Chains A and B, each alone.
Chain A
Amino acid sequence: MTDLVATTPGLFPLPDWAKAELSDLKGHQKGDLISGDEAPELQDAYDRARTEVVDAQTDAGLDRVVEGQLRWDDMLAHPLAVHDNVETRGIVRYYDNNNFYREPVVQDDLTFDGDVAAELDAAAEQVDDGLQAVLPGPYSLADLATDEHYGDETEFLHAVADFLAGEADAFPDVETLFLLEPSLVENAPSEGLDAEVPEAVTAVADAVDCEVVVHPYWGALDEKVYAHLLDADVDAVGFDFVADHEANLYNLQEYGATDDIALGLLDGQNTLVEEPEAINERVDWVFDNLPVAEFDTTYVTTNTETFYLPYSKFEAKVEAAADAVALAETEVQA
């Protein structure tokens, strides 16, 4: 029997008070975005906001609790946007969304930074167990950035992977690491580079002593990309069943899966909140359609980050995910 785990891929919306307070403190222009060396009053506001989203997850009963990534003004590009050897340029579109981030341009070696580890240290003080780390996957982070230093896309991918491995190595003890890889779907790696992705992902996964989930979203991976990704040394691959259930099911049926699996079943970009029963029906649908479905652990999550949502709807999504898993466990016991 699979162990159902309610979680999220992180990158939450700020509570409304924090939106107002931080925009007053920081301003609205691109020069006002997060730099990595915030003044004390900013740190204080982020600390209070972090506490609030940690409590929201704990109160809802999620099995994994993330830090929230509330400082990630540049979304998944954040770890590079705050790096000293990276210059941030104009505002560019974040995938196909009406959202924008600063283009990070890598100018020099991607040395150790520690920004994400510091956030997790702060979260670890408030989470007794089930802390989950979140990072962009190496392919997505490289895809979101511009390289003006390494000069070769394969070399750049591995440099980004080594950088992320260094960041992950500094993490406090965590239960799970989610590596978010939307670019594997949205801007799939070219022939040749696709074969480099598993090595890059493995480099990051090997840096931590915990369960690692690689989570692509906004559709299904090309077959070849998926087949390559299964070579990575990770515990689970995620599937966005909101955006494309048929193609994802096809990949699972044709190529099999990792020992664990992550199912993106709640829509992270729509305010319509799924009923726990409906979420569980979707879990069953996936399992019923697989010839062999013996996963040790099944992560139940939103398909995407949730910063797209109003805060109240984000809270409702988190509760729905937790309630779905709680309900399924009750039904098993009964």
Chain B
Amino acid sequence: MTTNANRDQFRPEDHPNDHFLLTTVVGSYPKPKWLNRAKELYEDPDHEFDADDWAEAKDDACRLITDEHERAGLDVVVDGEMRRNEMVEFFAHRIEGYEFNGPVKVWGHNYFDKPSVVDDVAYDESWLVDEYEFTADAAERPVKVPITGPYTLANWSFNEAYEDDEALAYDLADLVNEEIEKLVDAGARYIQIDEPALATTPDDHAIVGECLERIADNIDEDVRIGLHVCYGDYSRIYPEILDYPVDEFDLELANGDYEQLDVFTADEFTKDLALGVVDAHVAEVEPVEEIKENVRKGLEVVPPERLVISPDCGVKLLPREVAFGKMENMVQAVREVEAELDAGEIEVPATSQRSPADD
């Protein structure tokens, strides 16, 4: 069987099957209700619940969700982003050059604190090293670190200081590179760059590519770097994105019922595919059989050794028990598909398309 060292460094020693399809999550996970309550108490100036109490609550939540991911059987876990409020705000608070002026509308009564870049961005305190070290210590399994990508950090901010968003994105990419170097020094082996803004402005795929060149610069090749993109027209960025210096693309496809799968089979998918197999915005747990069918869709694009399985996107908007149910069924589905691959019961279209000389 062909192997893939970059991915297989995360294979558990006691993995039950010969085949291995790595299971993981995109990142965010529903916060326990008590954590939201704790935050309210912390933000209430009249309450004695203080900064230490709030830090302890976040630590507890991080341990809890990391453990919940392990109980679901995931091979690579995340802390569910328990310490993060929102994917741009969290980072903007840690980068010099940003300021906040209040919430802005996204749609209806959904708002976010869209920050303004008012000066050259600069690296100040570490963003994620403490979070990574804590989670790695709490986890039995390997830990992935999701980071909001520089293009999204630029695109979803007001730009008061730079000539254009491209210049801002490149400066931010250098900061992300600095952060990843620190994370790698701390032991991180699996980094995921989240670039949802790419889906909204697909014509900018070259800018995202240049950002990733800066991000990957001087990072050890053994460190796995993934890129998460979601909710867009992939035909406008594929196959161009195959030139990006990343090991894996994590894609949302279950939500659109794999209508866009053809996009990725038209040109050979030369990277690892992290395939979304459960919908992050439907509050019903998909049955194992349905998820198995979705997993097999991935085998139409890549052979098993280059397939990773995850939900479509962060699952933070789901009820927690639904999120757990989806993870649990996802892992079970994957282990069953692996066993069927071992038994030769599943044909792998992505392998059979290729001539032996390609390997």
> Which residues of A from 30 to 50 have beta carbons under 8 Å from B?
30, 32-33
Which of B75-83, B104-112, B186-194 faces chain A? B104-112
- Interchain CB contact under 8 A, B102 and A16: yes
Complex interface: chain B residues within 8 A of A312 (CB): 101-102
User: Residue-by-residue, is A297-334 near B (CB-CB < 8 Å gives 1, otherwise 0)?
Assistant: 00000000001111111000000000000000000000
Complex interface: chain A residues within 8 A of B160 (CB): 270-272
Complex interface: chain B residues within 8 A of A91 (CB): 107
Q: Which of A16, A32, A272 contacts B158 (CB 8 A)?
A: A272
| Docked complex Cα distance between A100 and B104 (Å) | 13
| Docked complex Cα distance between A270 and B159 (Å) | 7
Q: Which of A16, A28, A32 contacts B103 (CB 8 A)?
A: A16
| Docked complex Cα distance between A85 and B200 (Å) | 31
Q: Which of B109, B116, B200 contacts A98 (CB 8 A)?
A: B200
Complex interface: chain A residues within 8 A of B107 (CB): 73, 91, 94, 99-101
Which of A19-27, A132-140, A166-174, A215-223 faces chain B? A19-27
Whether, in the assembled complex, A93 has its beta carbon less than 8 Å from a beta carbon of chain B, the answer is yes
B321 to chain A, nearest CB (A): 20
Whether, in the assembled complex, B238 has its beta carbon less than 8 Å from a beta carbon of chain A, the answer is no
Whether, in the assembled complex, B19 has its beta carbon less than 8 Å from a beta carbon of chain A, the answer is no
With A93-B200, A96-B201, A271-B158 as contacts: A310 and B104 at CB distance below 8 Å: yes
How many residues of chain B are within 8 Å of chain A by beta carbon?
21
| Docked complex Cα distance between A33 and B105 (Å) | 13
Whether, in the assembled complex, B114 has its beta carbon less than 8 Å from a beta carbon of chain A, the answer is yes
With A19-B103, A96-B201, A271-B116 as contacts: A73 and B158 at CB distance below 8 Å: no
Complex interface: chain B residues within 8 A of A33 (CB): 108
| Docked complex Cα distance between A23 and B112 (Å) | 13
| Docked complex Cα distance between A284 and B3 (Å) | 68
| Docked complex Cα distance between A142 and B289 (Å) | 44
With A271-B158, A271-B160 as contacts: A100 and B200 at CB distance below 8 Å: no
| Docked complex Cα distance between A14 and B323 (Å) | 33
Whether, in the assembled complex, B156 has its beta carbon less than 8 Å from a beta carbon of chain A, the answer is yes
- Interchain CB contact under 8 A, B101 and A98: no
Interface of B is mostly: mixed
- In the assembled complex, 16 residue pairs joining A and B whose CB atoms fall closer than 8 Å, in A order, are A22-B109, A23-B111, A28-B109, A28-B110, A29-B108, A73-B108, A73-B109, A96-B200, A98-B156, A100-B107, A271-B160, A308-B105, A309-B104, A310-B102, A310-B103, A312-B101
Whether, in the assembled complex, A264 has its beta carbon less than 8 Å from a beta carbon of chain B, the answer is no
- Interchain CB contact under 8 A, B109 and A13: no
Complex interface: chain B residues within 8 A of A32 (CB): 108-109
Q: Which residue of A lies closest to B157 (CB)?
A: A271
Q: Which of A26, A27, A94, A311 contacts B102 (CB 8 A)?
A: A311
Complex interface: chain A residues within 8 A of B156 (CB): 98
- Interchain CB contact under 8 A, B109 and A26: yes
User: Residue-by-residue, is B224-245 near A (CB-CB < 8 Å gives 1, otherwise 0)?
Assistant: 0000000000000000000000
| Docked complex Cα distance between A269 and B108 (Å) | 18
Across the A-B interface, give the 8 residue pairs with the lowest CB-CB distance, nearest first: A310-B102, A23-B109, A100-B107, A272-B160, A310-B101, A271-B158, A271-B116, A33-B108
A107 to chain B, nearest CB (A): 22
| Docked complex Cα distance between A30 and B105 (Å) | 14
Instruction: Indicate the member of B105, B159, B197 with the most A CB atoms within 10 Å.
Output: B105
> Which residues of A from 261 to 316 have beta carbons under 8 Å from B?
269-272, 307-313
- Interchain CB contact under 8 A, A27 and B109: yes
With A309-B104, A310-B104 as contacts: A19 and B109 at CB distance below 8 Å: yes
Q: Which residue of A lies closest to B161 (CB)?
A: A272
| Docked complex Cα distance between A309 and B114 (Å) | 9
B200 to chain A, nearest CB (A): 6
Q: Which residue of A lies closest to B156 (CB)?
A: A98
| Docked complex Cα distance between A270 and B162 (Å) | 12
Complex interface: chain B residues within 8 A of A30 (CB): 108
Given A27-B109, A98-B155, A98-B200, 20 more contacts at CB 8 Å?
Answer: A14-B105, A16-B102, A19-B103, A19-B105, A23-B110, A26-B108, A32-B109, A73-B107, A73-B108, A91-B107, A93-B200, A96-B201, A98-B197, A99-B106, A270-B159, A272-B116, A272-B160, A310-B103, A310-B104, A313-B102
> Which residues of A from 150 to 171 have beta carbons under 8 Å from B?
none
Complex interface: chain A residues within 8 A of B106 (CB): 98-100
